[in-house]
Structure 1
């Protein structure tokens, strides 16, 4: 039995990572082990719905879609990767009121279940907070990325947050500002650089999602600011002006400055060396988001402190005499 949709209907909110995918491909990846013929059967019978409406296999998902997935049976029994939760996620809360819940997501935890993962952030929080009648992810972070993650406690708040993300401008213009810390290989030369490289999404032969810089890709824009340098390392702050899948990781890799510990786009021999030196994860952390509150309109600055393991690694780096904090 596939853990997702095992005994009851699942309602999934489409985030930036799934936006634009055909719904049949989305389900094939989500429900691994479910026969292909069964997935197309539940689509034909109208058991899968988007925003309460029947859709066919060619429907392309839109950011914010609510997809209904019925209970399904896998073709074979498969082990399910149950992610250990070392501490309650509610203890990671940065901000909460009657419309929003904002947490500092740990690295190594997916934002939602599926593809062999029984429980992600959203499922765990629903278990911890059964009194919340509505709780949905407003956006996503990669499994390996830690930091600020917004969830909506009201549908009206979810709609407003999605509108802000689509707006793409600064908070003052109705958009949302998101900032990340990334430790990269090499000597970054500029104090501030605008990077505008089109990104193309594709699936590998194994069915894994990947992104590359390609002329026919989606427009994307990241602003990188230099924060600190060490011998062979640079700490950057990345400001997202668009929210494409793996945007920061691919932009930096393409420019020749891979993120430390990136297991998809990084320098793999270097990553092994970093593991021996104590860095066991990717050094990418969503440290700040600035938004307009979806109910009150006030400006909120949401900050997630750098995790202890990343702080420890920075302290371990030998700092040359001329290194400066910018």
Structure 2
């Protein structure tokens, strides 16, 4: 007689999780997304709305922020089997600095910092997949997908809050390098133009200079001229979406390879040379340590593709 098949999938059951100091302050939806890896977002939000997820025996909304000592009820949810391949491929990125509170990586161009907007996963999801035992890994700031360079990741809740407070108050200094179309005139120039987010007809996020927008301040310095092109340094004094890209493009100096704010013919020309990215690189970061206050300076050299392009332009003015 054939033996009955045994279902080896783990049986979902109610779980109770007590919130510690490191989890305090997180939105409950973000906490559950990490706790219940592999469970679709729609299932988690449905469980919150229906009251199956409870805190201290009471119903809460998705925007609720957890507090230390909260008792969280997690309903039965179908989780991936222990032997099932993780949905996000783990990845190792060049580490510039790491201690028990902070991780700084050198992000390559073409990799999103997080999933969403048509991207299944990004740096943060891949780091979590590569470090499944890490109690916490959270982005402290953002870089555009096509921007390379220094990316800050917090490993402790207190460090994340400290970094957010610092950036909100304009602390720290973030420096970039950009190759732009045009012969930049001034050795140093302040660009102060308000920026406003808007959506195209297809739903794509864009930013434009607009009096109704938020104040934005970028300091531009000339590093080197390459005929019709200029290598610039850009220091962010505010951190608006696409700030450097829009400030430079609106000033008549779009970044080489920028597919949103730059001319197609320039992008095509450099693609024929083998350069198929945007020339914007987060090269230097100066911040106080979020826990100790010690002065930290991180640097990331230009990626090989950018360096090789500059060498080519040096030889072919």
Task: Give TM-score, length-normalised by structure 1.
Answer: 0.73
What CA deviation, in whole Å up to 9, does each residue of 1:233-292 have, x standing for no partner? 100000000000000000001001000000001111111011001211000000010000
- C-alpha contact 2:102 2:155 (8 A) present in aligned 1: yes
What CA deviation, in whole Å up to 9, does each residue of 1:112-151 have, x standing for no partner? 1123322210010011112211110000100000000000
SS of residue matched to 1:317: helix
2:177 aligned with 1:181, yes or no? yes
Residue number in structure 1 paired with 2:118:
116
2:92 aligned with 1:88, yes or no? yes
**Residue 318 (structure 1) shift:** 3.6
2:100 aligned with 1:98, yes or no? yes
Aligned residues: 260
Residue number in structure 1 paired with 2:209:
213
Residue number in structure 2 paired with 1:77:
none
Unaligned stretches of 5+ residues in structure 1: 1-7, 13-30, 54-69, 73-81, 169-174, 322-326
- C-alpha contact 1:199 1:218 (8 A) present in aligned 2: yes
RMSD over aligned Cα atoms: 3.0
What CA deviation, in whole Å up to 9, does each residue of 1:175-223 have, x standing for no partner? 1100000000010000000000000011112221110000111000000
SS of residue matched to 2:164: helix
Distance change (3 Å), C-alpha of 1:111 and 1:271: same
Separation (CA, whole Å) in 2 of partners of 1:83 and 1:285? 26
Paired residues for 1:1-326 under 5 Å? 9-10=32-33, 48-52=62-66, 88-89=92-93, 92-168=94-170, 175-318=171-314
- C-alpha contact 2:115 2:125 (8 A) present in aligned 1: yes
- C-alpha contact 1:230 1:319 (8 A) present in aligned 2: no
Separation (CA, whole Å) in 1 of partners of 2:191 and 2:177? 16
**Residue 294 (structure 1) shift:** 1.0
Separation (CA, whole Å) in 1 of partners of 2:132 and 2:102? 16
Unaligned stretches of 5+ residues in structure 2: 1-30, 36-40, 52-59, 68-74, 78-86
**Residue 161 (structure 1) shift:** 0.3
Distance change (3 Å), C-alpha of 1:11 and 1:242: farther
Residue number in structure 1 paired with 2:21:
none
Distance change (3 Å), C-alpha of 1:294 and 1:317: same
What CA deviation, in whole Å up to 9, does each residue of 1:268-324 have, x standing for no partner? 111101100121100000001000001211100010111001100010004689xxx
Separation (CA, whole Å) in 2 of partners of 1:315 and 1:140? 29
SS of residue matched to 1:156: helix
SS of residue matched to 1:178: strand
- C-alpha contact 2:177 2:282 (8 A) present in aligned 1: yes
- C-alpha contact 1:111 1:142 (8 A) present in aligned 2: yes
**Residue 48 (structure 1) shift:** 2.2
Task: Give TM-score, length-normalised by structure 2.
Answer: 0.75
Higher alpha-carbon Rg = 2
